[in-house]
Structure 1
Amino acid sequence: MSVFAIADLHLALGIDKPMDVFGGRWSNYMEKLKNNWLETVRESDTVIIPGDISWATYIENAYEDFKYIDVLPGKKIISKGNHDYWWTTSSKLNKYLMENKFETIFFMHNNAFVAENFAVCGTRGWKCPGEDDFKKDDEKIYLREIERLELSIKASMGLEYSERLVFMHYPPVTAKSQTSGFMEVMKKHGITRCFYGHLHGEGIKGAVEGDYEGVVLKLISADYLNFVPMMVNSQQAVDRTLMSGYIDS
């Protein structure tokens, strides 16, 4: 039994939303993801998907995308991304899963899960102070997301695990922000590994990876992983894509 991670599926089975603007890797990406998932993930495994799941605007329009995820092997733990406009309250989301009999999908929102020997925590995140596009209106969201990360990590207390992992949609730090409240929360709680998505195409070149202030950061956006879910069970597995790098095609 293993734990995998992959962000930014950007499923569009119910809407016409071309993704090739982010590069050639997105050509036929949903079929590519499905085939790679089937070759990599077993029914006993868990896959963490931190954000940008579906392009649907409303949850009612996301049925085909959720069905796509549900029938794939493994348990899936999903959190919110900046393009998940369909996201609503936890009670409505869980009711939607129950009504449609999506039994392999779970939502992470101010809570935590245990997968194998890991406590799985996280939040969406947001832009960080110091970035060019961080405006006054962003501060409220930024602070709220820091609080949500704190709540998720605290929710893991009392659970049995060997390591706590954090999964975010936005990077917890960028080259321009240098540090953030997200990093401070993780350091305070002894988090040693954080996985994030959000970056695509040219944006990937600015990703901060590796040991940063004592936390190992890893980019897991789907196109960066070439649409192959990445195993996070061991540090060696985390490092495998660091050696290969990213080449758009």
Structure 2
Amino acid sequence: MTGALHGVVALDGPSGTGKTTVARRLAAELGAGYLDTGAMYRVVTLAVLQAGADPHDADAVVALARSVRLDVATDPDRPSVRLDGADVGESIRTPQVDAAVSAVSAVPEVRELLVQRQRTLIGDVAARGGGIVVDGRDIGTAVVPDAPLKVFLTASAAVRAARRGAQDTAAGREADQAAVLASVERRDRLDSSRAASPLRPADDAVEFDTSDLSIDQVLVALTELAGTRGLLDEDHEDVAEPCR
């Protein structure tokens, strides 16, 4: 084994850079917890859509964010997200959620609520003596600004759209490539220009362009980075069990 991770790896970047896949695999390989913060915003967005509320109605969105029960597992081998007890792992990846999630995640009160929850989940893993890989769009800048390793993944919009389209096709969802590219570019604009925690690399983040890199290549680079930052415990093979 390479070594067990301790501390937090903050992995940020726009959609389609491979950060969710990389974060989950990195956590699994390093015996760490894993948290997909983007899934949390998608769950709230799904709740908004299921309630028939307007994603741009901040008051309605905040009310739903406060009332729903959102459960996220931090085991990279068994990741799951639940809305009021129901598994919604597939439902939060639909085009309808894609189109509305930027509006929901731009509401400052929603971000405050979920950032508090994210910090609690991260703290629970740390209290067990384990490390955790957290992916999202504001991990290094807002959620865990003191993380010892911050990484910002990028890739061209065309490459990211192709990846997203392939994911949709593999999951049995229809994928119109032109529409997927337009959605990626729209999400980039919205996430980068929002007032609350806009998408941007932290000042001390290491930036990786993944356009021409495989997942395995990115994993090797991040593992090496974690090692140089002193985040890998080479002396212990027993890993603290992630909280669930």
Normalization by structure 1: what TM-score?
A: 0.33
Bigger RCO of structures 1 and 2 (CA < 8 A, at least 6 apart): 2
Normalization by structure 2: what TM-score?
A: 0.34
